[in-house]
Amino acid sequence: MASQSRALKPVPDGAGGAAGRRRDRGALQSARLEAEFWARDAVVASVPLVEPGARAAVIAAVRHPCAQILFGFEAQLRALVRLAEARGTTLLLAPAPELFSAADSFAAFRRLGVSVGAAERLLHVRLGMARHARLLKQASNVILTGESHTLLPTSPPQHPFGSGDRVPAGFIRQLVYFPEQSPLSGLDGHRMPTAMLDDGAAVADLLAPGSSIAGTTPGAIPRLAAGWVGADDAAFCAELGLEIGSFAEFNTPSWREAWRGGERGGVPASLDWRRAVTLAGAAGDGPERLSPLLLPWNVANPASIVPSLIERLCRAGRWEDRALRLVVFPFNESWETAGTVAGLIQRLRAAGSEPATLRTMFLARLRADRAAALMRHIFPLAWVEGGDPECALTLARLAALGVPAVLVAPPPNLTLPRALMPRFSVLADEESRHDVLDAFGARLFMVPSLSARAVAALIGRSREEIARAAPPALLGRGGGAPDAAHA
Amino acid sequence: MRHMPERLPAIARGEALAALARNIAASGWRIYYDVSPLFEEHWTGIPVVAAGLAQVLLRMLPETTHFFYEHHLVTRAAVEDALGRGSGLFLHRDFFKGPAQNGVVPLFDWGAHALGIYPSVKRVRQLFPLECSIVHDLSTLVTPQFHEIANIRYHAESMMSDLRSNAVTFGVSRATVEDIAAYLGIDERRLAVAYNGVSWPWWFPIQVENEREPADADPYFLVLGTREPRKNIVRIFEVLALFPELLDSVRIVIAGRMGWLREQQMIPPELEKAIATGRLVLPGFVSEFEKYCLLSAAAATIYPSFFEGFGLPVLESLSVGTPCIASFSSAIPEVGGPLCTYFDPFSAESLYRAIRAVLADPPKQRVDFREACRATAERFTWEQMLFQILTRMMPEMERHDSIAIGQLKLLEHTPSPSVPERRRRGRPAPV
């Protein structure tokens, strides 16, 4: 218990613990974005897309099939589509804005009825990770990122944009969702001018009229309100666009195979786990009254502690008896992260993780808005990594979905909007060293993380939270209270 | 708006370059030219550019030009030999075994009159009082998904240091210069365009006449370039898979050495029959002469690249009067101008339409097209590239002449006065 009391710092509503105490430090002084900013001939978005998924150099953004819509840059894109629609603007998507240069390139725009020629007529909004930022020539370039860089590499990377908080000189402005987001700067260190989007811009897609959350709930959802989906319900979920597959059933077709494997014209290739099967196939033995925990995983965050957290849970043994089921939602998959999810699961298998354990951990992907309303019925709690640069954006989207969250190992300098403060945070009691060597150079991150006993305490406290919100029958296979060791 | 090189007549340009070379030689400046790209065995892309410039330097500034690799001078004879062979195989061997070395770069005894020209990434920098380098594209930075991590890091780690140590950085197209300014924030006054050139040995056209294919052979489309993901060869395969009837009337030849990443294995199984029947030909790396033959005889070339700093194969195609179906990406339209038929590099349908358009109305048979191609080839030459570089560097050299070496980033330290001295200075003067 002593370790638990050290590790867990329940935070009164609205206070936010360490995060809340430091809320004002480094906050942006952003003016609201003026309405005329959108008044261009055309608004073009771009994201760190996987090239094979695109079928044209510029398309209507609404036609772009997202691999998952819950978090990350694809969620940003969905939200921006709704924002543009609300302003009567059609949002275009340029999968590779960097290829546009000469007048002949822009013929692709003209074919869509967009006249190009002066930067003030065309607005390019870059979404996603700052270190992936690209520019569109002959346009006004702004960057809208959900990131807030609370954990920077301790050694300066040689790559111009390797630190993650620097962007190309051609951007004229940074758009932010929350005033607490940390500012980006140019290569010379100058801070970019910022402007804040309207409240709710981060979740515009989820809360838009006509969305599943805004009232058009599929009729069958109420029967899921009793808790975890059983085998019969899994097919229903998948039909709505929620795919769930267990680590044990994970299949790893490579990027190349997925690209060539009859994907044309459909959903762009999923990088790692396209063939993840639904829960029905994975669980196999009928309905289970267990509590699923939603764990967003920003695979583009090189300093993420999610992989080590999962590995720790697998190594701990008898995870399957904990009555919790970890459902990992990887997001921000791109060319850079190909193999990340597969790599984790291969490591787990190589380390001798029990099949029984792997059957109780899942990968999931929300592909369609119709399934968004399912989330709060399925997931009584989410663990959100405090050191994730997109932590605030993830919390905002979970809040819109109605899924309560726990903040895991927030860095001391994290600042969050008051409305997004989770019920409690689990403070880091360790610091782990992440040596990263990738396309952005060699970097060293010192990352706040959780020890084994802190993880045990997190599990116990999570079960208490779930118990508070749900009938006891939902906990444990036979119902009843959580086991004493983790109470 | 297209940015084309100055439209001076070729003779006038030649005279202007000669006059410029005489000026430089007379002013006592030496030019040090980095030959590291020439150490490659097979020359494509950057080594071709480096070789083109080296040839012009040898011809126009023979006494003024010196060659170097890192800190070592390289003998003129070894460089000339490599240029004659069109390969760096022996240059590489002779340099590292010793015979091609010519001592070390004289770091301290030339006064302030040495200009270092780096045709690509600088292996060592700040050796010379004035330096300039050529950036061929920012693809490792802007399209890293097409490169291996080691290559990305190699370029990324030296990029900013190279640019900062240059008096002027040259991009091989306006698009590249704009990329450098927009992504890396380099002041455009320190950037300039030096377009690549194209040249063929005089005997190539004669020899080609002797090896021409029989007239009744089916026409073919040539795809030229290293097989790497950025070159987007898969789009060709996709077109052939979607529209297999295309191979009934034309053949496709994909020439170029194997590159990296996934495209090395990307020939789809459904095209194996086309390979077996000779409708799809993959000869691999071809020599310069073989390339010239293939270019000359092709009905058209296809250049589907996703991103190019210049697009040398486009210019090579036009230089022999062969039309090019090219992606509308990055610098390609700047080079191809109105002579190319452009398509969307993401769209197989768009490429198919472009191929059909060229088949329906073959530009190669039009006199005006051939004339326009000839004019393009005259505009893009290695002489013109060197002229652009030296013209832009001349003001820098003149400015440098007026600066004493001692003024270069020296911080003068004056000894601080002693305490009694400071008191004496601070005391008000007696009235």
Confidence (pLDDT) at A23: 37
A245 and A199, same structural domain? Answer: no
Angle, helices B382-401/B10-26, rounded to nearest 10 degrees = 30
Give the pLDDT confidence of B396-415 residue by residue, as tens digits.
988 876 654 444 455 556 66
Rounded to an integer, what distance in angstroms lies between the CA atom of residue A207 and that of residue A86?
Answer: 12
Is a pLDDT exceeding 50 seen at residue B90?
A: yes
Q: Does residue B132 sit in helix, strand or coil?
A: strand
Same domain as A268, residue A302: yes
Q: State how far the alpha carbon of B351 is from the alpha carbons of A326, B110, B277, B347, in Å.
A: 46, 55, 23, 7
**Looking at per-residue confidence, does A325 or A25 come out higher?**
A325
Tell me the percentage of chain B whose pLDDT exceeds 70: 86
Exposed e or buried b for every residue in A268-302, given b needs 16+ CB within 10 A? bbbbbbbbbbbbbbbbeeeebbbbbbbbbbbbbbb
pLDDT greater at residue A41 or residue A440: A440
Q: State the residue range of the domain holding A397.
A: 220-486
Read off the pLDDT band of B170 (50, 70, 90).
very high
B7–chain A nearest CA distance, Å: 19
pLDDT value at residue B344 = 94
Which CATH number do you get for residue A265? Answer: 3.40.50
pLDDT score, position A379: 87
pLDDT at A238: 67
Per-residue pLDDT reduced to its tens digit, A16-73: 344 433 333 344 445 666 666 777 778 999 998 765 567 889 999 988 878 789 999 9
Higher-pLDDT residue of A476 and A365 is: A365
Name the band, by pLDDT with cuts 50, 70 and 90, for residue B427: low
The phi, psi pair for B6, rounded to 5°, reads -55, 135
Domain boundary among the residues A144, A173, A205 is at A205
Domains of chain B: 10-197+382-403 (3.40.50), 204-379 (3.40.50.2000)
In this structure, of A348-362, B48-62, B302-316, the range with the lowest mean pLDDT score is A348-362
Which residue do the tokens 């006038």 mark?
B12
Note whether A201 and A224 are same-domain residues.
no
pLDDT at position A278, please? 40
Are A296 and A163 found together in one domain?
no
A237-241, A286-290, A411-415: least confident range: A286-290
Does A42 share its domain with A156?
yes
Would A21 be classed as within a structural domain? no
- How do residues A300-313 score in pLDDT, each as one tens digit? 999 999 999 999 88
Q: Tell me, what's the pLDDT at B75?
A: 96
Please say if the pLDDT value at position B431 is more than 90.
no
How many other CB atoms sit within 10 Å of the CB of residue A346? Answer: 13
The answer, yes or no, to whether residue A446 has pLDDT greater than 90, is yes
**Separation CA A391–CA A383 (nearest Å):** 11
Strand-strand pairing, A140-144 and A173-176: parallel
Question: How many structural domains comprise chain A?
Answer: 2
Does the predicted interface ipTM exceed a cut of 0.90? Answer: no
Please tell me the distance in Å from A377's CA to the nearest CA on chain B. 39
What is d(CA B426, CA B408) in angstroms, rounded to the nearest whole number? 34
Segment A128-167, tens digit of pLDDT: 999 999 999 989 999 999 999 888 999 888 899 999 999 9
How far apart are the C-alpha atoms of A29 and A192, rounded to whole Å? 12
In a domain? residue A211:
no
Q: Choose from B329, B342, B353 for mutation: most chain A CBs within 10 A.
A: B329
In the structure encoding, which two tokens stand for residue A479, read together?
């119902």
CB spacing of B178 vs A137 below 8 angstroms: yes
Predicted confidence at residue A92, as pLDDT, reads 93
Task: Compute the distance between CA of residue A205 and CA of residue A399 in angstroms, rounded to an integer.
Answer: 13
Among A154, A178, A205, the domain boundary falls at A205
Residue B80 to residues A180, B40, B198: CA-CA distances in angstroms?
62, 15, 18
Counting Cβ atoms within 10 Å, is residue A458 exposed (0-12), middle (13-18) or buried (19+)? buried
Q: Is there a contact between B170 and B49 (Cβ–Cβ < 8 Å)?
A: no
Strand partners, A294: A327, A382
What pLDDT is stored for residue A51 in this prediction? 53
Domain membership flag for residue A434: yes
Same domain for A303 and A155, yes or no, is: no
**A315 class by beta-carbon count within 10 Å (0-12 exposed, 13-18 middle, 19+ buried):** middle
pLDDT at B402: 61
When computed from its CA atoms, the radius of gyration of chain A, rounded to whole angstroms, is 22
- For residue A20, is it within any domain? no
Do A346 and A263 reside in the same domain of the chain? yes
Enclosing H/E stretch for B295: helix B288-297
| φ/ψ of residue B327, rounded to 5 | -70, 150
Can you tell me the mean pLDDT for B227-245? 90
Q: Which residues pair with A385 in a beta bridge?
A: A408
Burial class of residue A245, CB neighbours in 10 A (0-12, 13-18, 19+):
buried
**Is the CB of B262 less than 8 angstroms away from the CB of A255?**
yes
Same-domain pairing of A195 and A232: no
Nearest residue, CB atoms, A98 vs list B143, B262, B332? B143
Look up tokens 């892309």; give the residue. Answer: B45
User: Pick from A54, A260, A438: which is nearest to B346 by CB?
Assistant: A54
0.90 surpassed by pTM: no
Compute the distance between CA of residue B172 and CA of residue B425 in angstroms, rounded to an integer.
60
Q: In what order do the strands lie in the sheet with A91-93?
A: A31-32, A194-196, A173-176, A140-144, A122-127, A42-46, A91-93, A59-60
Scored b (16 or more CB within 10 A) or e, B371-409 reads ebbeebbebbbbbbbbbbbbebbeebbeebeeeeeeeee
The pLDDT-based confidence of A126 (bands split at 50, 70, 90) is very high
Q: Does residue A398 belong to any structural domain of this protein? A: yes
CA A474 from centre of chain: 27
Q: In terms of domains, do A396 and A479 share one?
A: yes
Residue A344 in domain: yes
> Which pLDDT value is given to residue B334?
94
pLDDT for position A9? 39
Is A433 a residue whose pLDDT tops 70? yes
Average pLDDT over residues B317-337: 96
CB-nearest to A135 from B182, B333, B334 is B182
| Residues A200, A236 within the same domain | no
Domain assignment present for residue A1? The answer is no
Tell me: the pLDDT tens digits for A196-235? 998 899 999 998 877 776 665 555 554 444 444 455 565 6
- Determine, yes or no, domain membership for A326: yes
SS (H, E, C) A240-280: HCEEEEEHHHCCCCCHHHHHHCCCCCCCCCCCCCCCCCCHH
Asked whether the beta carbons of A253 and A269 are under 8 A apart, the reply is: no
What the block records as the tokens of B55 is: 């040839």
Tell me how close the Cα of B84 comes to any Cα of chain A, in angstroms.
36
Q: Side chain identity at B299, as an amino acid letter?
A: A
Q: Which residues of A have a CB under 8 Å from any CB of B? A: 51, 54-57, 95-96, 98-105, 107-108, 134-135, 137, 158-162, 168-170, 186-188, 255-256, 260, 334-336, 438-441
Same domain, A255 and A191: no
pLDDT at site B136: 96
Q: Provide the pLDDT for residue B259.
A: 72
Domain end (from A142, A173, A205): A205
Same domain, A409 and A261: yes
- Reported as a single tens digit per residue, the pLDDT across B203-220 is 898 888 887 666 667 899
